[in-house]
Structure 1
Amino acid sequence: MAISRRAFLQAAGLGATAVAVTACGPTMAPPGQTMPSASPTPTTTTRPPAVPADWEKLRGQLAGKLVLPSDAGYATAKLAYNPLFDSRQPAAVAQVANPSDVQACVALAYASRIPIAARSGGHSYVGYSTPDSGLVVDLGGMKDVQVASDGTATIGAGARLMEVYAALADAGRCLPAGSCPTVGIGGLTLGGGVGVLTTKYGLTCDKLVSAQIVTGDGKLRTVSASQEPDLFWALRGGGGGNFGIVTSFTFQTEPAPQLTVFQLQFPSGSVGDVLGGWQQFVADAPDELWTTMGVSGGNPPTCRINGCFVGSQSGLNPLLNKLVAATGTQPSDRYTLSKSYLDAMRYFGGCASFSNAQCTPSWNGNGVLKRESFTATSRVLAKPLSDTGKFAELMAGRNGMDVLLDSIGGAAARVGATDTAFPHRGSLATVQIYQGSTAASVRTAVGEVRDNLGDLIGAGAYVNYIDAGVKDWGTAYYGSNVTKLRKVAQQYDPDGVLSFDQSVAKA
């Protein structure tokens, strides 16, 4: 039986963490490659005239596989997560096997001037990882997870979150990351990485130690706090696809804890009261307790609070009592379940009844998770909303639409807003607006809620839920960090090889 993303959005109250357009891979440079440690001097280059893409030459250069429209398997190879983008026709899909393959792809894009985008999980909300007439760099074959004795983990480019969680759990380790099991580690990290352990351990990008990347100038680099620090800064929240194609991430992991998951379901008509109490509660909640509030549109709208506690049920219950008291509303249903780290990640991913192997995509393997058409966007709840009743009014009659508020306090809030490229430190929550359809009427409705919600809570937005309809999107996604991000993009991709409609250089 295949499971839809919509089904476990409603069950768990969690939003999909979107992959943008770049991802990750192995950490070691291939023989003969150099990785300069000094930052390059920004230049304005004069590119030679474009030449036609020599696909057969590229095919011969790759250790992986090149799939052209005339090749068997192209119809499947080009697929992203959202069927909305099935009509797109990339010129080729390179199923890369190592960093040298990625360099060859970037070199071809430079010479021929065709669009190029990396794809890990393929969840880009506007399909930037599937460019029409462009080259898709499919990192799915680069998915190794290696855990060292010091607790660091090097994670390959194509690794999806369930693969990451399973490998880390085998080593007794964990990484704070997202809920959707088919999302790639690359886009998640590059946009920040909000998930069910955010308040305890921080964003995914906060655990990043180093990364290997093929930058837009075609060079393979290793970056860290001490090696090319401006680029390392940009990779922690600056969004996917802006500076190069990351070919591996090395993270500092944590010992895998015992967790308790929970859900509070509230009666219809209580959205305003529950939101008012929840937003006050999360501002001072302990790091160990992460919560997400889900609001489903209807007449009247309904709501629920889900979450994850690092600790036992006995430690969680007093906190839930305090949360319920803050809302002034008795839940119609309440449950808590003690789970191991891995079982909790499977629970939030909608895979509690399935094996790790089954909790993978059904469209390119034997998994149970199917593709689904959806329209989504975001805002950021920077501070408590004074009139929560207006929020409830926005969702009246919005049948099939969910708004998901994921807490980003605790450890994530104790990092400075300019210490990484992720600017929303100190905000209460990211706010995802999601509906499982791509019909024009649904796109219009989602846009209306986005804009009206922006009038209530501010114009900030989360780049991992990227949306071409967001006004002044550079500031919305990056805040005051946008100026520095533009400079980094110019430094490492001076010719705009990786340029796309919402790339940092265009912000």
Structure 2
Amino acid sequence: MELGRRTILKLAGAVPAMAAVPAAIPEGGGPWERLRAGLAGELFRPGDPGYDEARLGFFSLYDHRLPHGVAVCANEDDVRRCVDFAARHRVPIAARSGGHSYAGYSTVDKGLVVDLSRLNAIEILPGGRAAIGAGAVLGQVYETLAAAGRALPAGSCPSVGIAGLTLGGGIGVLGRKYGLTCDSVESVRFVGADGKLRLVSAETAPDLLWALRGGGGGNFGIVTSFTFRTAAARTLTNFGLTFPPAVLAALVAAWQEWQPAMPDELWSGMGLGPTAVNCGGCFVGRAAQLNPLLDDLVRRVGTQPLTRDVTEQRNLATMRAFAEETNFPAAVAQRGEYVSTSRMLTHPVPDPDALASLLTSDPYLYSIIDAYGGAIARVPSSESCFPHRSALGSIQVTRGLDGGEAYARQAIGRVRDELGREYGQAGYINYIDAEMPHWAKAYYGESLPRLRRVARKYDPDGVFAFEQGLAR
């Protein structure tokens, strides 16, 4: 799952921009002031009060980046004006929702950050649908939907933005039952590279809707809001099993046979590291139904867990539990101090002992394996560009910054590349890694040629080009 960042920080010890094209206008001057005057929201420039706070994303690694402007948009027309400004003056532009880009692409150096945080309205619509602004974060989404008795399959970190998560796919604890977050998208409101606002749906622009369902944040244009299909909120049972470190390989061997045989209602993941051997998850149903399934997993592992927690509760309480929050705060002060990469588990692990050695080869590594299958695997490629439907799961490899950033990236890179030799080059775009080899093929697989055609059609001049963008 797209885990709560505090979980990673605790256990590990510890959207996107035009490629580097020099701005045709200087940092200062009239065009920026005209942009400021035309916005209903605020434009923060270097030297303005509040600029140093407005420019920051989630990860402190990118605090050295200095945008020429951060536009905190008040409405869709502000977004349109920003895109028009960037296209006209050849200024790098990046949309920012939650600001959690692992590569820091939503903090564009010497460019324009389009901050969507005020476009965060959530409206419950007839027929179990919800209109959600692109600036909403998951904590807000879960609280509002729960009040209406609805649920949406999404991630677990409450400060992650709905936009970036959805556009890259969106894995989470309800995924095997209800699919990826992008699978629930019915339509979007979208500002294209031409500066025009349009409704994107299966009727109006089926190729673009296909691409926005998993094509990654920062490509094609800026989504200002989504309309989702939601599910009726159900009683959920979340669980956590903690095993001795010595049984890491045995847990992996047992889990990869057990999880695919489980009903769609059961999702699980593993947290693995030198001192962490955990399996946790969520069951759409009652604890009495879940416990025999967990007994089966424990039997397969062959070792009793050190701890076993099974909690039956409402949907919202479960989301709070996975976020490690009793309530979702309006803002999360803690920032990211780690690096991350990913691979897809395209087939079962042939040598669990070798995997255990790899994942414990550095004392600060922590890896998260998330289950796929179920509803995720049943969405046809004609409906969504997400290319990893047949995977057993994904593995996110994280490391704290002990020893420095360069050393940390080298450590996760060794694991990434070794995994690539066994499972192929695929990775998950929402865990974007600036050093991912053959990144376009890794993130988009067989969808890549069609995605590039969509990018050329809707962004022919590369307004939304960036280092790992489709419009390059």
| TM-score category (smaller protein) | over 0.9
From 483, 489, 492, the equivalent of 2:449 is 483
* 1:28 corresponds to: none
Equivalences for 1:292-311 in 2 at 5 Å?
292-296=269-273, 298=274, 302-311=276-285
Q: Percent identity?
A: 48
1:453 to 405, 419, 422: 419
CA-atom RMSD in angstroms: 1.8
Partner secondary structure for residue 504 of structure 1:
coil
1:278-336 CA-to-partner distances (Å, cap 9, x unmatched) read: 0111222111101001101x2xx541100001111101101111122222332121110
Q: Distance in 2 between matches of 1:5 and 1:423?
A: 24
Q: Is the 8 A contact 1:324 1:331 kept in 2?
A: yes
Q: In the TM superposition, what is the alpha-carbon distance from 1:276 to its structure 2 partner?
A: 0.9
The amino acid across from 1:161 in the alignment is L
User: 2:458 and 2:276 mapped to 1: Cα distance?
Assistant: 47
2:308 is the counterpart of 1:334:
yes
The 5 Å alignment of 1:198-217 reads 198-217=175-194
Cα shift readout 1:25-65 (whole Å, capped 9, x = no counterpart) = xxxxxxxxxxxxxxxxxxxxxxxx94557111111111111
Give the CA deviation at 1:149.
Answer: 2.5
Which residue of 257, 265, 270 maps to 2:242?
Answer: 265
Distance 1:206 1:505 in 2: 24
User: Which residue in the other structure is 2:148 paired with?
Assistant: 171
Partner of 2:470: 504
Q: Distance in 1 between matches of 2:107 and 2:259?
A: 38
Select the residue among 249, 262, 268 that pairs with 2:226.
249
Partner residue of 2:216 out of 239, 256, 259 = 239
Matched AA of 2:457:
Q
Of 74, 97, 103, which aligns to 2:80? 103
Selected match of 1:398 from 352, 356, 362: 362
Within 5 Å, give how 1:77-156 maps onto structure 2. 77-156=54-133
Which residue does 1:21 correspond to in 2?
16
Runs of 5+ consecutive residues of structure 2 not aligned to the other structure: 18-22
**Cα offset for 1:377?**
0.7
Equivalents in 2 of 1:77, 1:93: separation in Å?
7
Larger CA deviation: 204-213 vs 141-150: 141-150
- Matched with 1:494 is 460
TM superposition shift of 1:440: 1.7
* Matching residue within 376, 384, 390 for 1:420: 384
Deviations for 1:172-228, whole angstroms, at most 9, x for unmatched residues?
000000011100000000000000100010000000000011111222111111111
Question: Residue 282 of structure 1 contacts residue 428 of structure 1 at CA under 8 Å; is this kept in 2?
Answer: no
Q: Partners in 2 of 1:402 and 1:278 — Cα distance?
A: 18
For residues 325-361 of structure 1, the C-alpha deviation after alignment (integer angstroms, 9 at most, x for no partner) is 2223321211101121111111111103xx33x2632
Shift of 1:21: 3.4
Q: Tell me how far 1:505 sits from its aligned partner.
A: 2.7
Counterpart amino acid of residue 437 in structure 2: K
* Paired AA for residue 311 in structure 2: L
AA aligned to 1:402 is Y
CA contact under 8 A between 2:4 and 2:156: conserved in structure 1?
no
Find out whether 1:409 has 2:402 as its counterpart. Answer: no
Structure 2 residue aligned with 1:225, among 187, 202, 208?
202
TM superposition shift of 1:79: 0.5
Q: 2:430 aligns with which of 461, 464, 468?
A: 464
Deviation of 1:443 after TM superposition, in Å, equals: 1.2
Alignment map for 1:41-56 (pairs within 5 Å): 50-51=24-25, 54-56=31-33
Contact in 1 for aligned 2:55/2:107 (Cα 8 Å): yes
- 1:384 to 2:379 alignment: no
Per-residue deviation, residues 211-258 of structure 1 (Å, max 9, x unmatched):
011111222111111111000000000001110000010000001111
Aligned mates of 1:152, 1:302 — CA distance in 2: 39
Distance across 2 between alignment mates of 1:472 and 1:58? 38
Match of 2:399 in 1: 435
SS in 2 for 1:66: strand
Change in Cα spacing, 1:422 to 1:351, as seen in structure 2 (3 Å) is: same
The offset of 1:409, in angstroms, is 1.1
State the distance in 1 between where 2:330 and 2:266 align. 26
Contact residue 121 and residue 136 of structure 2 kept, 8 A: yes
**8 Å Cα contact 2:9-2:336 kept in structure 1:** no
**Matched residues in 2 for 1:382 and 1:343: separation?**
33
Name the SS for the 2:270 alignment partner.
strand
Deviations 1:124-167 (A, max 9, x none): 00000001100000001110100013111000121000000000
Identify the residue that residue 347 of structure 1 maps to in structure 2: 321
Amino acid at match of 2:290: L
1:420 and 1:397 mapped to 2: Cα distance?
37
The one-letter amino acid of 1:360's match is A
Contact 1:372 1:436 in 2 (8 A): no
Give, in angstroms, the shift of residue 475 of structure 1: 0.9
Q: How far does residue 112 in structure 1 lie from its aligned partner after superposition?
A: 1.1
CA distance in structure 2 between the partners assigned to 1:476 and 1:309 by the alignment: 31
TM-score, structure 1 normalization: 0.87
Question: Structure 1 residues 327, 88: CA separation in 2 closer, same or farther (over 3 Å shift)?
Answer: same
| In structure 2, distance between residues paired with 1:504 and 1:56 | 31
Q: Which amino acid aligns with 2:291?
A: N
Residue ranges of structure 1 left out of the alignment (5+ in a row): 15-19, 23-48, 363-369
Question: Does the Cα contact within 8 Å between 2:464 and 2:471 map onto a contact in 1?
Answer: no
Question: 2-side partners of 1:420 and 1:378: how far apart?
Answer: 21
| SS of residue paired to 1:87 | coil
* Cα deviations by residue, 1:350-394 (Å, 9 ceiling, x for unpaired): 103xx33x26322xxxxxxx1121100110111111111111010
2:20 paired residue number: none
**Equivalent residues, number:** 458
Q: Report the 3-state secondary structure (helix = DSSP H, G, I; strand = E; otherwise coil) of the residue aligned with 1:154.
A: strand
2:100 is matched by which residue type in structure 1?
A: H
